[in-house]
Amino acid sequence: MTDHYQTLADTAMALVAPGKGILAIDESSGTIKKRFDGVGVENTEENRLDYRSMMLTTEGLGDYISGAILFDETIRQVMPDGTPLVKVMEQAGIIPGIKVDAGAKDLAGFPGEKVTEGLDGLRERLAEYAKLGARFAKWRAVITIGDDIPSRGCIEANAHALARYAALCQEAGIVPIVEPEVLMDGDHDLDTSFDVTEATQKALFAELYEQNVMLEGTILKASMVISGSEASDRADINQVAEATVDCLLNAVPAATAGVVFLSGGQGDVEATAHLDAMNKMGEMPWPLSFSYGRALQAEALAHWAKDPKGNRAEAQAIMLHRSRMNGLASLGEWSEEEENQ
Ligand code: 13P
């Protein structure tokens, strides 16, 4: 392996180091507005920095969080004392990452389906992000389950874009996180989620191969195989864990550096319990860890929002606890006792 590829493989391994996972705080301006609206906080640049730096300056966070995915605004932000946020992260042992896609847009010719945009000019943007300190990136594709969807056309368009993005990242010395999210929305059952997730992941790895992407320097961000959020009879924790691992074993080459999950609307403890159940199943070809957004932040955000100054330390304690619980789950060592300590 050349030095260039070795660096990518080293970064990928550090992101899924034992007992650690990724914090996703890369909400776009629209999404963070929704989250702030939900807790009554005004969506200003200052509040966004205050909130996100509250999380990142949590003492000891680096013991459980290997890296954090930032939004374009955040990677450029500077703390009130003049220190760039990226420096603060590096000092805390948290690797800076960056969301680089331009969002999921309607896919022409395929009503109800989306394709993620953002390839134009990506080489130049990646070069700038690398200079700003980013060592890994994220691109999220969205696959919707519904009547007669997803279509093959949608799965393939998204897989192709993910692979083109991944190749550009590796050229820039940045580890790509490839995220084909199969949405939980709907009343579909576990088997349907399995079939769609398997088809999506298989199409993705076929495209990664076609585009010469090095799997040892790539991380899959996967959605779990899970019943639709409105399904009448939802699968339990062990069924979800078994179906998800079964799907991954069928679709994800062993050379892939690691698999991290999104939470996708699951409850905080539910997301932890699912990850823990998978890791209790025994040895896997890849580390299985987390890259949660909502499931890591929800409780800390709600607490911080009530009194951003007065509750800062308590919100950080909540953040640390949730991160530690997921760190334990990534080792298969989480328990209700640890949760309620
Ligand atoms: P959730 O864990 O809230 O689904 O967010 C993770 C993420 O980064 C989605 O792209």
Q: Hey, whose CA ends up nearest to atom 10 of ligand 1?
A: 140
DSSP 20: -
Atom of ligand 1 nearest to the CA of 292: 2
Give the model's pLDDT for residue 307: 98
Ligand 1 centroid from CA 248, angstroms: 19
Q: How many whole angstroms separate alpha carbon 288 and alpha carbon 241?
A: 11
- Fold designation for 3-339: TIM Barrel (3.20.20)
Residue (of 329, 12, 2, 49) closest to 169 by Cα position: 12
Ligand 1 pocket residue status of 266, Cβ below 6 Å: no
pLDDT above 90 for 165? yes
Q: How far is the CA of 179 from the centre of ligand 1 (A)?
A: 10
Cβ(232)–Cβ(198) below 8 Å:
no
Can 221 be counted among the known catalytic residues? yes
Whole-number pLDDT of residue 46 = 97
pTM metric for this prediction: 0.98
Mean pLDDT computed over 264-268? 97
- State the distance from the centre of ligand 1 to the C-alpha of 15, rounded, in angstroms: 16
Give tens-digit pLDDT for 222-234: 999 999 999 999 9
14-40 pLDDT, tens digit per residue, is 999 999 999 999 999 899 999 999 999
- Give me 161's structure tokens: 């874009």
pLDDT of 74-83, one tens digit each? 999 999 999 9
**Residue 337 burial (CB count, 10 A):** 7
Q: What is the mean pLDDT of residues 238-252?
A: 98
Q: Using a 6 Å cutoff on CB, does residue 296 contact ligand 1?
A: no
Give the CA count within 13 Å in the CB-facing half-sphere of 92.
25
Tell whether the model's pLDDT for residue 1 goes beyond 90: no
C-beta of 292 in contact with ligand 1 (< 6 A): yes
> 341 falls in which pLDDT band (50, 70, 90)?
confident
Q: Where are the beta strands (DSSP E) in the chain?
A: 21-24, 65-70, 95-99, 104-106, 114-116, 136-143, 175-182, 219-222, 258-261, 288-292
Q: Are 181 and 204 a contacting pair, CB within 8 Å?
A: no
Q: What is the predicted pLDDT for the residue at 177?
A: 99
Confidence of residue 311 (pLDDT cuts 50, 70, 90): very high
Which tokens belong to 296? Answer: 């890591």
CA distance 292 to 268: 9
Percentage of the chain lying above the pLDDT 90 cut = 99
Position 268 scores a pLDDT of 98
Determine the Cα–Cα distance for residues 99 and 75; give it in Å rounded to an integer: 10
Q: 236 is written with which tokens?
A: 């339990």
> Which DSSP symbol is given to 183?
P
Q: Residue 283 — φ and ψ, nearest 5°? A: -60, 135
